[in-house]
Amino acid sequence: MLATRAPAKINLTLHILGRRDDGYHELESLVAFSGGGDALRLAPGPELTLIVDGPTAAAAGDGSDNLVLRAARRLAERVPGLTLGAFRLTKYLPVAAGVGGGSSDAAAALRLIAAANGLADDDPRLMEAARATGSDVPVCLDPRARFMRGAGEAVGETLRLPPLPAVLLNPGAPVATASVFQRLGLAPGERTSAGAHPAIASGLDAEALLAALRRGRNDMEDAACLEAPVIVHALAVLSAARGCRLARMSGSGATCFALFSTRHAAAAAAAAIARQNPAWWVKTAALR
């Protein structure tokens, strides 16, 4: 039995540069990952199967189109004689939440199949299968901080970031990414006029990184707030938390995050928010 984590993907920034002629939106995003997330196990064998359980399993579904199975099939198309097997996915992350849960699950499946078959981590067929599975899967294949660009297919080098104690919050409103993009209203070939992404290099200290992040933005935030107005309240709650340095939405929502200077401050804020909002999904995280 092989096992791995599928951590939450957090978009610290998300700049929409325009919409390509092929209909896909072009973006530039600095991505970091939590320590915890979903859990995926694989018993290698001749049949490809999937069982889904866990606190958020009901929303994830266990159908044949699950991204874990889709990723496995895309890799099998590229590697003759590939050993697959029985997957068991335990869902802890919220679904349709802007944290790339399904994409991270798919990337975790590719890592486990690679391990079961002796494929190198840098085997180009892994990235090919990731790109064929979904736009967020490539950046999740090696879940460490980096930029993603294009429609998600272009993945930058790993960035060394300072510790980022954070609170992750989802107010329980699923948000469809396609609906948020539709609200942006960009026509194929249209470019945006928003400012360029701030330069962020590996090795910045915490204050320099926070200053750069404040010059960034999430261009999907306003549209997502129209789609799910509770996001406005979630951001206000995080911004008002003692010690919050930056609050922003991740991805297309509805999950939001707040960055803090210390883990203690993040833990205290998370406990206070959870007490006042017991129906919300609230977690602390050390983003990397």
Could you tell me if 133 and 210 lie in one domain?
Answer: no
Could you tell me if 88 and 173 lie in one domain?
Answer: no
Confidence of residue 64 (pLDDT cuts 50, 70, 90): confident
For the cut 80, the answer to whether the pLDDT of residue 62 exceeds it is no
CA–CA distance, 59 with 21 (Å, rounded to integer): 33
Number of domains in the chain: 2
Q: Give the domain extent around 196.
A: 164-287
CATH number (domain holding residue 137): 3.30.230.10
Q: What's the pLDDT at 59?
A: 85
Task: Give residue-wise pLDDT tens across range 222-277.
Answer: 999 999 999 999 999 999 999 999 999 999 999 999 999 999 999 999 999 999 99
Could you tell me if 25 and 144 lie in one domain?
Answer: yes
Task: Give residue-wise pLDDT tens across range 198-210.
Answer: 999 999 999 999 9
CA–CA distance, 49 with 69 (Å, rounded to integer): 8
Could you tell me if 13 and 148 lie in one domain?
Answer: yes
Could you tell me if 176 and 221 lie in one domain?
Answer: yes
Could you tell me if 227 and 187 lie in one domain?
Answer: yes
One DSSP character per residue, 101-156 reads HHHHHHHHHHHHHHHHHT--TT-HHHHHHHHHH-TTHHHHSS-SSEEEEETTTEE-
Could you tell me if 231 and 140 lie in one domain?
Answer: no
Are 51 and 62 in contact by the 8 Å Cβ rule? The answer is yes
CATH number (domain holding residue 205): 3.30.70.890
Could you tell me if 278 and 197 lie in one domain?
Answer: yes
Domain boundary among 128, 155, 182: 155
User: Which sequence positions are flagged as catalytic?
Assistant: 9, 136
Could you tell me if 65 and 104 lie in one domain?
Answer: yes
